[in-house]
Amino acid sequence: MRLLLANVAVFFLQQGNAEMAYIYGALKPGYVLRQPWTLVSYMFLHGSLGHIFFNMLSLWVFGPPLEARLGGRRFVTLYFISGLAGAILSLLTSPAAVIGASGAVFGVMLGFAWFWPRQQLMLWGIVGVEARWLIAILTALSLFQARSGDGIAHFAHLGGFIGAWLYLRWVAGRSAAAQKAWRDKLAPRVSGGGPAMERWKAINPDALHPVNREEYDRVMAKLAATGEPSLLPGEREFLDRFSQVH
């Protein structure tokens, strides 16, 4: 909501002096080293009411569920990384100046499709399409129209997709690493006849609930038959939970 309000506020301020806003806020190849802030400021400028309307409509539709899934900090990070990636790809591929939040918003759209690829969306209220296919269609259209000279920054759109995809891959990798570290922390660090084996064997089965006693007997029988390395993480956790030392 803050991003949406910021875009709308800048749009109305922009109407007071559109020329100055363009000179100092638009992303222009050849000027970016002298005006590095335009890598960010261009995201908040729009060329027309229709331009900002459709960008903000997309942000309003796709943003809230993605923010709820990622959290506010990661959502804002994805938004700006997508916008920056859109700026970079546009600078590398086109001599034209760029304004608009489309790269950032396209990144939000890809983020939505990342988590809910089969979610049905209604285009213009009449055509149903899954989120994953919407991204595929928009990618194909951007690639096809990139050299059409229609005044639309199609490479910025594609850059937004790329930036969001890379960021979400990084987030997924960090999450997987964090989950593994947590599981490793919970799992007992033991080998064959180590302290954990002694703790497990010291558990008094008679003090356990019948359901837990039955599971204990099963796991201990497996331990005796195939050794400690054969135990699953859940079985190790079960034994450690009922041992004397955690």
Question: 41: which 2 tokens?
Answer: 């400021």
Sketch out the chain's domains with CATH numbers: 2-182 (1.20.1540.10), 187-241 (no CATH)
Please state whether 177 falls in left (phi above 0), alpha (psi between -120 and 50) or beta.
alpha
Mean pLDDT of 154-161: 94
Q: Cα-flanking dihedrals φ and ψ of residue 116, to 5°?
A: -130, 65
Q: What is the pTM of this model?
A: 0.72
Of residues 130 and 237, more confidently modeled: 130
CA neighbor of 42 nearest in space, from 93, 101, 105: 101
Per-residue pLDDT tens over the stretch 48-78: 999 999 999 999 999 999 999 999 999 999 9
Say if CB 9 and CB 16 are below 8 A apart.
no
Per-residue pLDDT tens over the stretch 161-201: 999 999 999 998 887 776 666 556 655 444 444 567 778 88
